[in-house]
Amino acid sequence: MKMAVIDPAENEVNKNIWIAVGTWRWVANDDNCGICRMAFDGCCPECKLPGDDCPLVWGECSHCFHIHCIVKWLNSQQVHQLCPMCRQDWKFKE
């Protein structure tokens, strides 16, 4: 997307292109994952790199875990799938 420069006034300075830089980090209600106890800024024990390959998920109860950790936990539950922190039914928050 190239911006056309419209006929400028005498002393106009036009901004043309802006390359912005930002960083992101997780915003969670805690520093560590309640299951693996690893920092959210890091990854779960199974992964080597934190970031997009080891994302966080939130449940409707607002608790937050590494996706790998909570999926592993849910798979190990036979009957009810509960949040390991608050024991409410686990539902992924949309």
Residues engaged in binding other proteins (CB under 8 A): 1-3, 5, 8-28, 41-42, 48-52, 56, 58, 64, 93
Question: What φ, ψ does residue 89 adopt, rounded to 5°?
Answer: -55, 135
Instruction: Say how far apart CA 31 and CA 75 lie, in whole Å.
Output: 24
Of 76, 81, 85, nearest to 28 (Cα)? 85
From the CB of 52, what's the least distance to other proteins, in Å? 6
Nearer to other proteins, 17 or 79 (CB): 17
From the CB of 76, what's the least distance to other proteins, in Å? 24
Tell me how long the chain is.
94
Nearer to other proteins, 19 or 79 (CB): 19
Residue showing tokens 């199974």? 46
From the CB of 78, what's the least distance to other proteins, in Å? 29
